[in-house]
Structure 1
Amino acid sequence: MSKSTKVSNPNAKGGSGFIWAIVAVIAIAAAVIGYIVLSGQGKKTEHLADRENISVAFDSTFADNAVTLKSADAKPDAEVVDLYEDFSCSYCGQLAENTDEQMQSAIEAGDLVVNVRTLNFLDRGSIDGHSTRAAAAALALAEAGETQAYWNLRAYLMEDQEDIFNKWSNDEFADAAKQFGASEGVVEKIRSGANVEPTNALATANADKLNAETGSVSSPRVIQDGKDVDVADINQWMSVVLG
């Protein structure tokens, strides 16, 4: 007589061990993925800890859609200009790299007051574009009065834009701000993206102002008394303005 073979029902009590084993494997996999994600946060910006953090001796105020950089000892006859820039503009990056040090010296000497007016026209209307999100990060610092962190983050976003263009999320912008000394509240504001929509409105208003004064929108631009500074090479604008 042949022996019968009994097939176990996987839904029976004895199969519960198998089900719990699958659940355990899934839980472990989720934990591993979570660890990888968390351990990877900040990796794109950790090198900024080795970057020189430039000290500044001027103040910043955030009003009228601009960040005004001005020394407490600014002279009554200090020259005042509007600097229009876009964080996706390679020429703006070159201008910042070539002239920021000289601009800082002139501001700190009380000879120059600069209204930095951020644009985002290179996002082509996308509110989630690189220009807008980079500007939102920098302007969150300016709005909080964290001038040194603003100045250093702005410089990095301009000078190294080729390396980060369209590669960063709000997390990376927040981590970068933290590396430059931003307060925890501002870091979390950047991370949440809460400042992106207001920044888009600000940049649009700046574009409207530039267009109304000059008839066109482009960057970089240095405007004084409603007109472009008359200079063949924009990298030499301070020589003209300061005489």
Structure 2
Amino acid sequence: MSKSTRVTDPNAKGGSAFIWAIVAVVVVAAVVIGYIVMSGQGKKTEHLADRANIDVAFESDFSDSAVTIAAASPAADAPEVDLYEDYSCPYCSTLAQNTDEQMQEAVEAGELIVNIRTLNFLDRGNIDGHSTRAAAAALAVAEAGETDVFWNFRTVLMEDQEDIYNKWSNDDFADAAQALGASDGVVETIRSGEFISDANTLAAANADKLEAETGSVSSPRVVQDGKDVEVEDINQWLDAVLGA
């Protein structure tokens, strides 16, 4: 007698076991994927823990939409400038790498006062763009008065701009700040994205100020007494301002 062929009821005990086996596989896969994602997340910034921090001997103050860096007792005749920059601007990155060391020396010597004014016009109105999120992270550090961390964090944002542009999430900015020594409160503020709206407002105020004084918005710009510092090459702005 030939054997009969029948369709197995998927609701039968054997079918349930099969379904639970599939569920178990899916859960394990999700855990593995989550681990890989989290591991990759950390690897974006873990190298910063071994980065040599820059020691600073100036003070910082966050007010009037700017982070002002100055010596504790600058010279009475120390020139004051507004440095406009956008964290998505490659020219700003180049300028920072070429002149930050000289600028730091002049500020620490009490010979110069710099108001660092962040812009975000390169986000083209996208409040979740790289410029705004980077500015929000830097703003959180600056508002907390963590001067050393701010300077080193800004250095990373500028020097590594090509590698991180549009690739970092709020978690990455937070992890970077943590690796550079930011306090736990600041790290969590960055991670939450709490200052993104404030950063957008700040950048807009700086853009309005720049346009009102010079008639246009672009970066990088160095403005003194309401006028662009006149140099053929902006990398020479310090020599022009300091009279070198």
Tell me the equivalent position of 1:131: 131
Gaps of 5+ in 2: none
Which stretches of structure 1, 4 residues or more, deviate above 4 A after TM superposition? 1-7
Tell me the equivalent position of 2:146: 146
The DSSP-based 3-state class of the residue aligned with 1:42 is: helix
The DSSP-based 3-state class of the residue aligned with 1:41 is: helix
Distance between the aligned counterparts of 2:98 and 2:6, measured in 1?
82
Distance between the aligned counterparts of 1:53 and 1:174, measured in 2?
17
Distance between the aligned counterparts of 1:127 and 1:8, measured in 2?
56
Distance between the aligned counterparts of 1:3 and 1:222, measured in 2?
90
Distance between the aligned counterparts of 2:168 and 2:15, measured in 1?
47
- Deviation, structure 1 residue 221: 0.9
- Deviation, structure 1 residue 14: 4.1
Tell me the equivalent position of 2:37: 37
* Deviations, residues 188-243 of structure 1 (Å, cap 9, x unaligned): 21122111111011101100000001111111111111111122221111112112
Tell me the equivalent position of 1:210: 210
Gaps of 5+ in 1: none
Which residues of 2 match residues 1-243 of structure 1 at below 5 A?
1-2=1-2, 4-5=4-5, 7-243=7-243
Distance between the aligned counterparts of 1:3 and 1:187, measured in 2?
69
* Deviations, residues 125-161 of structure 1 (Å, cap 9, x unaligned): 1111111111111111101111111101111211221
Q: Give the partner amino acid of 1:233.
A: D
Distance between the aligned counterparts of 1:14 and 1:90, measured in 2?
62
The DSSP-based 3-state class of the residue aligned with 2:232 is: coil
What is the number of equivalent residue pairs in this alignment? 243
* Cα separation, partners in 2 of 1:167 and 1:2, compared to 1, 3 Å: closer
Distance between the aligned counterparts of 2:73 and 2:214, measured in 1?
31
